[in-house]
Chain A
């Protein structure tokens, strides 16, 4: 596909602004900031969570614990996946008992990844609550799941491909929508 077929929704500066707003909303909604922890879903969710951590540290002077979660072993489509997804390292070096987990991912679509992530988190402990922060909500849910913090809503059909690129993995920040080929 050629780059001009991509429909850019957000540029790098927009992404940074959106993350600042989400960080602000997280702190605003959770008066007990000391109980907050961030857990990003690999790979891009972790990059975004790390940035939220930096912003909250700068603006609210709180250094939140940060974990990363690989949900492969909790997927509901393992039996029908024809080739194997790579299992990456989950790292949650703190207790989840009694804390408020901010679960961070790049795109919220069917809700199946979030379901898997919640099951996985609950195996680690009993958080007081789990809140979901996503950069993009593209709709078309297949499970009754909603995000608490949404960067942008991009109504897209299943035929579309919504891509989030972040500097850490892709060299630049960008949200794009394009037809699936």
Chain B
């Protein structure tokens, strides 16, 4: 096993070997979800704290289920119920949690680098569950687990990511992980949603039109349009966005015949993806959710099962 880090903060600095060993490990955890008794004792007596300073249902639930299936004690702390609303600083909150001796902290925060800062400060292991628009490593890794169920994830594979790339940590973590494995990634978005810093990544192609991005691709990944950002005028109207960038059946026909369709959720049906495609036979969106639990079990086990030196 070649994963010996204290924390999982992003995919950007992971080696191909580390990524592969995480994916391989997740494969072994899939089967636990099919057992009548979905629990193994591996992390008995360990405490996992889900520290969510941003709203989240899917990711938090997924981490919570993963921790509980490993027999860890999972505790949830979300911003709305926390002392943050009473004015406590982030570091004070973290110090207080650290004083309760958790083994793993799963952190989501709207600031880039929040998980990194916390990881430096605490002895507990830290998993970044999303820091601003920077990284969301477990989402990218579960996406790769899902891709590997259908495709060989490596050189020769082409993935199109379409949507608000600039504000998407899911896109960034996927881009880093996929390009590290030699996958070709095409990104496509309205110019206001295209990040500038990604230009020089080898294996990354920026496409102006979705038709260009979709042409013959093996995997289509649609990103959620954050309707709450619409007041920032990143695109003229939701209807225009849906018309130009939305994934419908006609556009999907441009992709390879056996292409799969992914979406990290939550979906805006009728905006970035039509219901016909989202519920169609090529969508693997719910497989992504199932694989998320297995991948997060693998991550928690690899971090939390390690003896402390």
Contacts and interface: CB of A to CB of B under 8 A. Distances in A.
B28 interface: yes
A119 interface: yes
Contacts of A91: 31
Interface string A77-102: 01111111111111100000000000
Contacts of B4: 83-84
Contacts of B301: 73, 87
B307 A81 contact: yes
A87 B29 CA distance: 8
Nearest to A124: B35
A84 B302 contact: yes
A114 to B, nearest CB: 16
A119 B40 CA distance: 10
A74 B42 contact: yes
B305 A123 contact: no
B99 interface: no
B3 interface: yes
A82 B35 contact: no
Nearest to B303: A84
Contacts of A106: none
- Of B4, B36, B70, B305, the most chain A CB neighbours within 10 A belong to B305
Interface string B1-36: 101100000000000000000000101110100011
Nearest to B27: A89
Contacts of A82: 306-307, 309
A127 to B, nearest CB: 13
* Size bracket, chain A contacts: 20 to 34
A72 B305 CA distance: 11
A179 interface: no
Contact of A84 (B1, B27, B37, B39): B1
Q: Main SS of the interface on chain B?
A: loop
B31 A90 contact: yes
A82 B1 CA distance: 12
* Size bracket, chain B contacts: 20 to 34
Interface string B285-309: 0000000000000100110011101
B145 to A, nearest CB: 14
Given A88-B28, A89-B31, A73 B42 contact: yes
Contact of B28 (A74, A89, A123): A89
Contacts of B40: 73-74, 120, 123
A155 interface: no
Contacts of A119: 41
B307 A85 contact: no
Contacts of A84: 1, 3-4, 302, 305-306
Nearest to A88: B28
B7 to A, nearest CB: 15
Given A73-B42, A123-B37, A123-B40, A80 B307 contact: yes
Interface string B172-187: 0000000000000000
A83 B1 CA distance: 8
A144 B3 CA distance: 35
A70 interface: yes
B300 to A, nearest CB: 12
Contacts of A88: 28
Given A73-B40, A87-B28, 15 more contacts: A70-B28, A73-B42, A74-B40, A74-B42, A79-B45, A81-B307, A82-B306, A82-B307, A83-B306, A86-B1, A87-B298, A91-B31, A120-B40, A124-B35, A125-B36
Interface of A: 70, 72-74, 78-91, 119-120, 123-125
28 contacts: A73-B41, A73-B301, A74-B40, A78-B305, A78-B307, A79-B45, A79-B307, A80-B307, A81-B307, A82-B307, A83-B4, A84-B1, A84-B4, A84-B302, A84-B306, A85-B1, A87-B29, A87-B298, A89-B27, A89-B28, A90-B28, A90-B31, A91-B31, A120-B40, A123-B35, A123-B37, A123-B39, A124-B36
